[in-house]
Amino acid sequence: MNKNHLIVFFSLIVALIVSTAFYAINEDSYQEDEVITLDRYNKIVSNKDTAVLVYCSAHWCAACIKMKPIIEETEAYNPSKLKILRIDSDRDKEVSEEFELNTLPLIMLYKKGSMKWTFTGKLEKSALRAKIDPYLF
């Protein structure tokens, strides 16, 4: 192989790796859940047995991508007392319009159907748990 062939070969390899990584990030960010309508949203947040953490995000939102692992860890934190409801601002149009989701991520905590706390932006895991804990026990 001559030098030009090697350059083309390595360029193709790099392009393949970059496109695969980009696809994986975007694929990971989309949810496979069905669309959350406003009716379904209201039914879920009115749960009397568990607190409900509503996480509003979008696959294109940099802060949401950074927040995703914190939400996933929080979901495993106390699954018998806390349910996570993920709202995709692009997919769940009714909810997005109701809450005028212009700034993401948006986090809301409900207990027995009543909103107890809301936050917009990225939040550290310890700060999130400090806000959630009083409503779990």
Q: What pLDDT, on the 0 to 100 scale, is given for residue 67?
A: 96
Q: How far is it, in rounded angstroms, from Cα 87 to Cα 34?
A: 10
pLDDT digits (tens, 9 = 90+) for 17-49: 644 444 344 333 334 468 999 999 999 999 888
Q: What pLDDT, on the 0 to 100 scale, is given for residue 31?
A: 43
Q: What pLDDT, on the 0 to 100 scale, is given for residue 27?
A: 37
Which residues, at least 6 apart from 73, have a Cβ–Cβ distance to it below 8 Å?
125
Q: What pLDDT, on the 0 to 100 scale, is given for residue 34?
A: 85
Q: Is residue 14 pLDDT above 60, yes or no?
A: no
The token duo for 35 is 């669309």
Tell me the average pLDDT across 93-105. 93
Return the bridge partners of 110, or none. 52, 115
